[in-house]
Structure 1
Amino acid sequence: MKNKYKIVRILFAIAVILFAAVFISLDYIVMPLYVQAEEVVLPNVVGLSKDEAIAKMEELKLNPILLSPRYDTQVPIDHILFQNPSAGKLVKVNRRVYLHVSGGEPLVRMPNVRQKTFRDARVTLERIGLHIRSLDQIQSELPPNIIVEQEYEEGTYLSKGDSVELKISIGPRVGMIEVPNLISHSVSDADKLLRRNNLNIGRKNYIESSLLTNTIIDQYPSEGFLLSVGDSVDIWIAKSR
């Protein structure tokens, strides 16, 4: 039992000695080295490009850390917005310096304004900071005053304040004819319907179907499409299995 207590006392004494050695090392070796480390004055890199800022920091043995871009209308893209710590402070070499980079002007995504009225399209664009640069009028199967085409596809990134070109419908060309619905009609009825509208039956395609023979299953162009006088409509016709 006495031997056991003796071993415990010895281990305790060793632990105390080790702790004292670590404390003395920190106090007389590590801390003096830290205190005596070279110090430099932080330069001002705000407004510089990120490459110039990094080079300037590394030249002074500092550790620049680039942070996620922030949109800014005043500072050009990829230039430094601000730094932390700020310029003029005395810091030790290898100190981390956080650099906030400008993402330039904020970007917006082009919305889809096709088939909207001109008024709705303008409101949609202006709400996100875009403007209409020009508005061309074209003939189309859409009613008048409806947007037919847009310069940029939906989802394209643009800068706020950018302008876009739109094309607006003035209605169909004079003399164009709207394709009637032929589906579920017989071939003979469809032929009469097309002739009344100055159109013709085009290619006939036969498909096995449970529907009544000679019933039209599908058509191209579809109902509502605009064709010129004398144009043809292809049809798909049911035939017995």
Structure 2
Amino acid sequence: MMDKNKFKDILQKARVQFNGRLDDLRNGGKTVVITVLLAFVIMTASCLAVFFMTVQGAEKVLVPDVTGKSLTDALLELQAKELYPKILLKYSEIPGDKGTILEQNPVSGAIVKAYRRVNLTVSRGIPIDYIEDYSGKNVDEVLNTLEFLFSGNDSLVKLSPPVYQKSEFPAGTILAQYPEAGAPVSEKINLQFVVSSGTEIPKTEVPNIEGLSIKQLLSKLGEYKVIFDFEVEEDSKSPAEGIISDEEKFSGQVEVFSRVKATLKVQPATEKAKTAQGIFSAELPEYPYPVPVKLDSQDQNGKLVTLAEFCHPGKHFTVPYDVKKNTTLILYVLDEEYAKVVVE
């Protein structure tokens, strides 16, 4: 058997070794914790330094005085100072100042950081209370001016796409306008130009309208450059919303505002039906150029809804309708009431 004294010595040595290991572990753990804390502090300080450098590092500049200058000159001056514009449009009472800077914010002389936005209020010119005479002018030049003048949701004048017509005048020359020169601008109006295409006859594709319902067709009529002459047939198998069942076919392009025959099929009318479908027709004068026409519906409560709006050269006029019974259909030509009928 092992001597008791020798056993005690072994046990004592083991205890000393264990305590030594434990002290080393404790000392090493403190070092690790201190190292982690130092790394966290350094990373936090670096992030804060980068943040404040970003916020405060932009160069400060002097806002130039651009009031009264043209928009082009103002933009160049702001660009040189590394400032960016925000454009606001405003009518002015001073003739001839269209396109000049009326106001700016921040004001001139202010010290701001580079890359800041500067609000520029630009003159749209004096408010127009009547339509000018644009006949004989180039349509591109006129549209460029008017699009700037009549931009914004509050404008009373909306520019419709030009209608092109063969003419002896150079291509792009405005032949006619609707409304005519001198018309007052007191409510929202559509300004339409008839423009010379030169001696070349303008042509267009005939759109395929077969399979369209009445409402689908009406929503697209303003896009077409041909005139459809509709006739109606009753068919118990036709859809309730009506359908364009047949259309005259062409092998290629046709002259703009050529006439195209089409057939509308509707269900037979009954006394119980709450709606009525059919063809609104009228005979118009023959106009030298296509003129704006509009078909509105008015219910018994007086509510007006525009069913279709497009240009028409005159003579025979037809448009399908699908409305409630006792609705009044009103045809406007050149913004004047031309014909009215009550659907029964």
TM bucket (normalised to shorter chain) is 0.3 to 0.5
Tell me which protein shows more strand as a share of its residues. Answer: 2
TM (norm. structure 2) is: 0.27
Higher relative CO (CA 8 A, sep ≥ 6), structure 1 or 2?
1
